[in-house]
Structure 1
């Protein structure tokens, strides 16, 4: 087994500590959005003064008046939780969990994916009230790194994902149908969080594995879905686990294999970055899952 070398560390960019927020409820959402926009604007100024134009531009975009963030932290690689739609009145909520190489610097592509999913939900059920959360709530591993081969980052992220779901349940009064969509390494995060995750469905796309041998081993009452497009290079990743220098490397059973036991849905010819492409089969089926229309997704 060849282990890739870690990518070069990015120099630290100064940023303020996260805004101090009241516990999230439907009534405190506007306050949280405003505080996080102000924090992002301050982070942009600090990044610009430091000479980091790329980070300053990303932070400024986050601070735009139309953006709504439940959380924002511009320090390090950055963390953020963005809301699309009216979360306080949502009856269908999808939380999008990203994979490797997602950070504030690369946030725009994650934003586009979440916006595309929200658009598909809104079009798919005109009478419903959907919301999508783009959850960059952990330090994602680099694609070219040793961390991307182990569950370490996922184990750190799991309690944060559970806490977010608890916040969503509180804000929506527990009435919303809640789906977590887990892309790439994000499916490892979902695998580690699943046992304590109060959700109705988990959808794994482009997954290298979850760290579990089967859907049953995730110990979740949620309906577990999985898909991989025919153009996704993850199909060539060995779905094994092995001990290497005292560390478990790899994530086990392929989630789209019959032995895993997930409900497999069609992602057509999606490549690894193509599951959220507007108009694609993959995105349409993810929207159906998030809307609770699961009978329309299954295929032989």
Structure 2
């Protein structure tokens, strides 16, 4: 009898321990789901939600273009003013156009760092840490050296492009597109060429007809990232090389622009799918 009673007690203890283990496992799983849910909600915040909360990051800035001006002050008085255009890319890269006058435009490509309220730029004239002091949906104000008693710079930027249009890699793979390739200088059309593009796995075959004068033909690697098409450098047609931002994307039409933010030169490709 004593042996039977001990067995019953042992069995009850095992059942109780099993229930406790299941309860603990359930608590752990629920905690994980709650944490994951909070993290997911934070990651799904839009640019509009993050910037007003003073939360700059490479992910927020990636594939956005900003245009504005920098005003330098000395002892409270304006000492200089110039235009800046910033094009942020993946990999913490930024292209910067600094326009100080009609014939004084400089272009730089370098790295940037963004964390919370701080934006660090390693670019001539605007190098250093910029503190985000004001932000709205598409406008930010940053200050450089804000505690300097004599010199301070204020940069005001308006966002003029963000990657709204997703460019699916599968849309381009094994497809043929034809259309126009237009070059603009200072807002005026410099030339219009006809272009044909044949995308295949990881590379694009291009044919540019320069108005009957001659044709440019070649094959170059390409990469698609979010709303941007990047074509590797080619001596055959350097205007085609570089990063193209998608302004319109559908199953049979593409409008891409390169040099966005550059005052002097930019290019627009309008393509229709023909395969």
TM-score by length of 2: 0.26
Q: Quick check: which has more Rg, 1 or 2?
A: 2
Higher RCO (CA 8 Å, separation ≥ 6 residues): 1
TM-score by length of 1: 0.24
- Higher share in strand: 2
